[in-house]
Amino acid sequence: MGARLGHLQLVQGERNRQLAEENRIRILPKPPVRGNILDRNGNIIADSRLSYSAFLWPLAKAEPNWETTVNRLSEILNISVEEITSRLDDVPVDSPQLVRIARGLTPEQVTAIEEYNYELSGVELDIEPVRDYPYGSTAAHLLGYTGEITQEELDNRGGDYRLGDIIGRMGAEAAFEQRLRGEWGGQQVEVNGAGRIIRILGEQEAKAGRNVTLTLDIELQEAAEEALGNRVGAIVALDPNNGEVLAMASRPTFDPNIFSGNITSEVWQELQGKDNPFVNRALRGFPPASTFKIVPATAGMESGQYPPNTVLNTSAFLNVSGVRVGEWNRAGFGRIGYRGALAWSSNTFFGQVGRGVGGETLIDWAKRYGFGQKTTLELPEEASGLIADEEWKQQRFNTSWSEGDTVNMSLGQGLTLATPLQVAVMFAVPANGGYRVNPHFLKTDDNQSLEKVSLNLQNSTLNTLREGLREVVTNGTGSAVNVSTIPQAAGKTGTAEARPRASHAWFGGYAPNDNPEIVVVAFAEHSGGGGGAVAAPMARQVMEAYFNRD
C-alpha cells in the first residue's frame, strides 16, 4: 500500500494533480446573440429569443449510470440514444466543455429534466439565444435558417468556429454569416465533487453579432406570397433603377422557426414533402417562353437586319429545316411589326427574326441581358440558368448547333433556361432606359459596387421595346394588368411547354410606364393555362399592394 501511494504521489503526482484540476475547473461557454435581420423599413424579420437548452458533460459517458441517463434523456427530448451518443463521439471524455444535446426545449421538457435530475448525471440546463422569425414562413427562402455546425463543416471552416456554434444555412443567414454570428464568451468555474458550481473564477462577455438590413419590403413580400397562393412557383419584385430586391417569394415554402428546436429524422422527412419546399424557385432555371422575345427583338433591331419599322408576314407555322414551328393561335396575325408581334406574342414573327440574325448574335444578346450566368445577388444557392451554344451542344450531345435551336431560343424554349430573377433583370433594361442592373438584397449606400451596366441600345430600339410592351397590356395578351387600380403598366406574357406535364405560366412587367418604379415577374410552375390568364393577375396583385399603400 505504501509503495502504491508513493507511485501515485511521486511518479504520477503531476498527472493526477492535472486530472483533479481539470475535474475541478470547468469552462462554461456562452454563445453570442446573433444579429437581427431587418427589412428596408426597419421591421425586424429575424431576431433571437431566450430558450432552454440541454447539455452534457463528456465525463457523463464514463459514469456507471450512463445507460440510465441516456435512456431517460432520450425519452424526454424525443431524440434517439444513438444521436445523443454520437454528439459525444468527437469530444474527449475528459473535455472540460459542455456539449449541447438539444435546444429550444419546451416547458414540459425542462420540467421533466428537473424532476428526473437524480437519474440524469452530467446533464445541465442553460438558457441561450435561439433564432426566431416573427413572420413565420414569409420570406423563408430569402432569410434561410440556422443550425448547429457539424464536425464536417467545422473541419472545412476552421478559424474561430467550434462545436456547438450555430451557423446560417440558406439565404441571408448563410450569406451574411460573418456579420451576424458574433463572438463566443464564457465562464471559468470551480465545481465540487457533485459537479455543482462553487464559484466563478473568470468571465468573458460574448460579443453580439451585427444587425443586417435588407432591401426587402416585408409588406410587399407578404403580398407576393399571397398572390402565389397555393401555386408552385415564384414572384420577384425589383427596383429597376438600382437592382434592389423588394420581394422574392417561392412556393412551396417552410417555417424556419422549426429549426430553432430539435429536428428529428421523422420531422426532416416530413419537411421534404412534395415539390421540394427548400428550393428557391426564384433562383432556378425554367424555359422563359415568350417573355424572352425581348432578346430577339433587341438583336434584330441592334443588328440592323430588322430595324424598328420592320413588318413581316406571320402565318400558321414557320418551316424550320422541315419542321413546323406553329403559331400559338394556329392562324397567324397577318403582316405586323414589332409592336404588334410583342402585343400578340407572335412565334412566327420572332422565329423569323431569330433565324435571320443567327444563333451567335442571338446568344450574344442573351448574355448581354444577363442570361446564362449568375447575377450579383448574394445568395449562394442561385443557379446560372442556361444559354446553350455550339460548344455546349457538342460537349453535351455531340451534335452541331442547328437552325431549329436558334428559332427555339427566339421563342424562349428548347435548351434555354432562365431564372425568374434573370427575367426581372431583363425587364429592368427597357424600364430604366437601357441598363442591366445588379440585383442585391443587402441595403447599402455604396452604389459604386452596384453600378448599372449600359447595353448601349439605340433610342429607337428602346422606344420600340417600350411601346410594344405597353401595347401588350393595352391591346394584347397582358390585358389583366390594364386596370385602374395601378398606374399604366407594361409587360409581356409567356407560356412555356413542359410536356407531358402542364405548361408553365409567366408574366413580367413594370409600372408606371412613363417612369418605372417596380418590376414584377410572376411564374407559375406546371400551372396550365396561359401567362395572361394565370401569371399576369399575380403580378397585378403585387403591383396593387405596392402602389396602394395606406
Domains of the chain in sequence order: 23-213 (3.90.1310.10), 218-261+278-547 (3.40.710.10)
Cβ-proximal residues to 8 (8 Å cutoff; 6+ apart), any chain: 16
Q: In 167-185, which positions are buried (b, 16+ CB within 10 angstroms) versus exposed (e)?
A: bbbbbbbbbbbebbbbebb
The cell for 198 is 462553487
Beta-carbon contacts of residue 540 (< 8 Å; ≥ 6 apart): 480, 481, 483, 485, 486, 489
333 Cβ contact partners less than 8 Å away, ≥ 6 residues apart: 314, 327, 340, 341, 344, 346, 349
Q: What integer pLDDT is reported at residue 545 of this predicted model? A: 98
**Predicted local distance difference test score (pLDDT) of residue 474:** 98
Beta bridge partners of 25: 190
CB 409 within 8 A of CB 350: no
140 in Cβ contact with 234 (< 8 Å): no
Q: Which regions of 32-175 does DSSP assign to beta strands (E)?
A: 37-38, 44-56, 99-103, 123-132, 145-148, 166-169
What are the CA-CA distances from residue 190 to residues 96, 193, 256, 456 (Å)? 11, 10, 38, 71
- What is the b/e burial string over 496-507, where b = at least 16 CB atoms within 10 angstroms of the residue's CB? bebeeeebbbbb
d(CA 409, CA 284): 18
CB atoms closer than 10 angstroms to residue 490: 28
pLDDT at 59: 78
pLDDT of residue 19: 44
In angstroms, the CA 469 to CA 184 distance is 54
Which of these, 295, 340, 277, 274, lies nearest to 474 by C-alpha position? 340
Task: Tell me how far apart the alpha carbons of residues 456 and 33 are, in angstroms, rounded to a whole number.
Answer: 48
Give the span between the Cα atoms of 82 and 503, in whole angstroms.
Answer: 46
Per-residue model confidence (pLDDT) at position 10: 59
The predicted-structure confidence for 208-225, as pLDDT tens digits, reads as follows: 899 999 999 999 999 999
Q: How many CB atoms are located within 10 Å of the residue 429 CB?
A: 26
Q: Positive or negative, the Cα torsion across 423, 429, 435, 437?
A: negative
* Grid cell digits, residue 152: 464536417
Q: What is the pLDDT of residue 58?
A: 83
Helix axes 420-432, 294-303, angle to 10 degrees: 50
Longest CA–CA separation in the chain, Å? 113
Pairing verdict, β 212-213 and 37-38: parallel
Residue 207: the pLDDT is 86
3-state secondary structure of 350: helix
Of the candidates 182, 164, 145, 49, the one whose C-alpha atom is nearest the C-alpha of residue 104 is: 49
- For residues 119 and 72, the answer to whether their CB atoms sit within 8 Å is yes
Spatial contact of 247 and 221, defined as CB atoms under 8 Å apart: yes
Residue 149: predicted pLDDT? 86
Backbone angles phi, psi at 4, to 5 degrees: -65, -45
* Residues in the chain with pLDDT values less than 70: 1-29, 96, 158-159, 186-202, 264-265, 445-449, 550
pLDDT of 161: 83
pLDDT, position 23 = 56
Distances (CA, A) of 499 to 110, 314, 503, 526: 54, 25, 7, 10
The span from the CA of 393 to the CA of 382, in Å, is 23
